[in-house]
Amino acid sequence: MIEDSKNIGVGIKSIQHIGIPTDDLDGSLAFYERLGFSSAMRKTFTHQGSTGEVLMVKQASIVIELYNFNHEHRAIGGIDHIAFNVTDVEASFKKMKEQGFTIQEDAPVFLPFWENGCKFFNIVGPNNERLEFNQIL
């Protein structure tokens, strides 16, 4: 249970990206390119024993994560999560665990995204929304 409604200081710097599941990465890229976005990163990945593919598209400081990952059922085209940049994902995880937030992972998870990878974890918000806390390494 969350102990207090005051800011506990988990180090949020900005919205990092908005994650949207898709079953057509190439079609999604073509759509977002028409809006002025360009591909910033595209990779295949393995998470919890399943393989997926991710495409980050960017325009100015706006980043959208488009991904195809059949491990979990997620609504195609729906906003799956909002990710926040954090300064220290390990410290944020510890602080949120101590404060009783509902965390979906046992520890921050590494993915080989960007140049040196990233670490993230998710919490569940009061409306069942998924909020990701992410540090690009």
Burial class (CB in 10 A: 0-12, 13-18, 19+), 100: exposed
- In the three-class reduction of DSSP (H, G, I as helix; E, B as strand; rest coil), residue 126 is classed as coil
Q: Is the pLDDT of residue 128 over 80?
A: no
Looking at residue 4, its pLDDT comes to 59
Per-residue confidence (pLDDT) for residue 47, from 0 to 100: 82
pLDDT in tens, 53-62: 999 999 888 8
Half-sphere exposure for 43 (CA within 13 Å, toward CB): 13
Digit-coded pLDDT (tens) for 71-96: 566 677 778 888 989 999 999 999 98
Distance between CA atoms of 99 and 37, rounded to whole angstroms? 38
Pick the CATH number of 12-136 from 3.10.180.10, 3.40.50.300, 3.40.50.12780, 3.30.70.360: 3.10.180.10
Which is nearest to 71 in space by CA: 55, 56, 51? 51
Is the pLDDT at 1 greater than 50? The verdict is: no
Domain ranges of the chain: 12-136
Residue 8 or 102, more confident? 102
Query: CA 24 from chain center: how many Å?
Result: 19
Q: Which residue has the higher pLDDT, 99 or 90?
A: 90
